Amino acid sequence: MIQIYLHDTLKQRKVPFTPIDTNNVRIYVCGPTVYDKAHLGNAKTPVVYDILYRLLCQVYGKEHVTYVSNITDVDDKILNKHKETGKSIREITEQTYNWYLEDMAKLNVLAPNFRPRATEYIDAMIELVKKLLANGHAYAAENHILFDVDSFAGYGTLSGRSMKEMLAGARIEVADYKKNPADFILWKPSAADQPGWDSPWGYGRPGWHLECSAMSSNLLGNDFDIHGGGSDLIFPHHENELAQSCCAFPGTHFAHYWVHTGMLMINGVKMSKSLGNFYTVDEVLQKAPAEALRLLFLTTHYHQPFNFTFEGLQLAKNTLDKFYNALLKNQDIPTDTVAPSDKIVAALADDLNTPLALSYLHETVNELNKAETPEERRRLKAQLLADAYMLGLLYNDAEKWFKGENDDDETAAIEALIKQRAEAKKNKDWATADAIRNELKTRGIVLEDSPTGTTWKKI
């Protein structure tokens, strides 16, 4: 069994990955807060973990991997959206959730085993707060329940900062009822017109970090293998999850490996809602197929910041044109199901080196283009598709990739013109032949002549 290496945030270096139980490898990834259409950053992270999921399935077997990715559907941003638009909370979260699922499907992200929603785990969260109060890690102040940071010696280890450092440059406005400025909210009161649930501490709602602790322990157990998310979640979100989970379940370690993805940048600046420099997945997909966006995400190592440009998106599209062109030329070759190549698996096992894996894909495509015998083509085509599957690529039909969804009339019209041109070519009437080709080109259709005839593609 191949050894997987991952960059662990806790150890701040690449380490060999050893699951707690190879029969049930468990991974939890923080999903989006559903209050608005997903932006590119919201899409990049699930694409990265989709690769990790595919790798874990390949190495340990699909039935031995449990992948959980949550949906945050209780949050003040949703509340604000409700105030702005007048739409009900339920309407906002349902709609946004469905948009998110559509985006994920377009990006060929495999469904996790569970997509738990925070509102379905309120009882579990209340239980967690009770435990923390009972064992002295939480306290009540002015109707809030707060986590007592000083009660957990390990606080700050994940994000690699000491309490002193955090306070040094802190810009937080500190509520005066906090014993320590870093104490964070486990449960807060809701006004009558705000969403809330009855609890031992009155009508209220959970603090942000609580849901992931509750859902991970319910679905994966108190100790599980990998916890993932964007690097902007390291502090305070993951630090706080870690603290409250370890304190609620003494003797457990919560996640054994922490994996974080680099931020998506626009013109060298982190893309974020608060800065307003963001693109939604939706609007980007108006300009290129989803697969091009997926491939673009994989051209940079996940741990690095990723700079998004529309030029890059176009290059990714061109790369896929090259790949699909090779598949198109070998359409008639039967597709065998084979295992992914050792090289691809090794590249991904080395902390998800997707750029290296992509370079192998290029090599295979080049070999396929050069292959002379049907046996060779058959072998290389199968290899290419198996390798591409590990990256979640080449999931489209080659012919559809180039021709799109056309109605029969359009197709017939194009083919009639190609037939006319073939006649002209036969008579060496190059002027007519070129005129037809140019006419089609203005309609975005490119012709390719070959010894066996002429094929067409949409650009």
Partner RNA sequence: GGCCGGUUGGCAGAAUGGCUUAUGCAGAGGACUGCAAAUCCUUCUAUAUCGGUUCAAUUCCGGUACCGGCCUCCA
Site for RNA in 374-413 (CB under 7 A): none
- Helices in 135-175 by DSSP H: which ranges? 163-168
237-276 residues in contact with RNA (CB under 7 A) are: 237, 261, 263-265, 268-274
54-73 residues in contact with RNA (CB under 7 A) are: 72
Q: Find the angle CA(173)-CA(179)-CA(185) to the nearest 5 degrees.
A: 65
Among 106, 161, 343, 379, binds RNA (CB under 7 A): 161
Give the shortest CB-175-to-RNA separation in angstroms.
Answer: 11
Give the shortest CB-402-to-RNA separation in angstroms.
Answer: 10
Q: Specify whether the CB–CB gap between 178 and 150 falls below 8 A.
A: no
Q: Specify whether the CB–CB gap between 138 and 125 falls below 8 A.
A: no
Whether omega before 236 lies within 30 degrees of 0, making that bond cis, reads yes
Q: How many CB atoms lie within 10 A of CB 141?
A: 14
Give the shortest CB-177-to-RNA separation in angstroms.
Answer: 16
Give the shortest CB-208-to-RNA separation in angstroms.
Answer: 5
Contact status: 369 vs RNA (CB under 7 A): yes
Among 134, 374, 448, 458, binds RNA (CB under 7 A): 448
Give the shortest CB-4-to-RNA separation in angstroms.
Answer: 14
Question: Applying CB under 7 A, what is the total number of residues that bind RNA?
Answer: 79
Phi and psi torsions of 56, nearest 5°: -60, -40
Q: Which stretch binds RNA (CB under 7 A): 119-127, 140-148, 158-166, 380-388?
A: 158-166
Among 22, 23, 304, 406, binds RNA (CB under 7 A): 304
Contacts for 384 with CB less than 8 Å, ≥ 6 apart = 323, 326, 327, 361, 364, 365, 368, 394
Contact status: 157 vs RNA (CB under 7 A): no
Q: Specify whether the CB–CB gap between 328 and 399 falls below 8 A.
A: yes
User: Between 365 and 391, whose beta carbon lies closer to RNA?
Assistant: 365
349-368 residues in contact with RNA (CB under 7 A) are: 350, 353, 355-356, 358-359, 362-363, 365-366
Q: How far apart are CA 301 and CA 266, in angstroms?
A: 17
Contact status: 447 vs RNA (CB under 7 A): yes
Q: Specify whether the CB–CB gap between 19 and 25 falls below 8 A.
A: yes
User: Between 64 and 301, whose beta carbon lies closer to RNA?
Assistant: 301
Contact status: 233 vs RNA (CB under 7 A): yes
Calculate the CA 391 to chain-centre distance: 12
Tokens 């010894």 found at: 451
421-440 residues in contact with RNA (CB under 7 A) are: 425, 430, 433-434, 437
Q: Find the angle CA(102)-CA(103)-CA(106) to the nearest 5 degrees.
A: 85
Q: Which stretch binds RNA (CB under 7 A): 92-100, 246-254, 319-327, 334-342?
A: 319-327
Among 87, 287, 370, 400, binds RNA (CB under 7 A): 370
Q: Specify whether the CB–CB gap between 213 and 243 falls below 8 A.
A: no
Give the shortest CB-73-to-RNA separation in angstroms.
Answer: 12
User: Between 63 and 311, whose beta carbon lies closer to RNA?
Assistant: 311
Q: Specify whether the CB–CB gap between 211 and 34 falls below 8 A.
A: no
Q: Specify whether the CB–CB gap between 308 and 40 falls below 8 A.
A: yes
Q: Specify whether the CB–CB gap between 194 and 79 falls below 8 A.
A: yes
Give the shortest CB-313-to-RNA separation in angstroms.
Answer: 11
Dig out the tokens for 370 from the structure: 């050069």
172-231 residues in contact with RNA (CB under 7 A) are: 172, 208, 229-231
26-55 residues in contact with RNA (CB under 7 A) are: 30-33, 41-42, 44-45
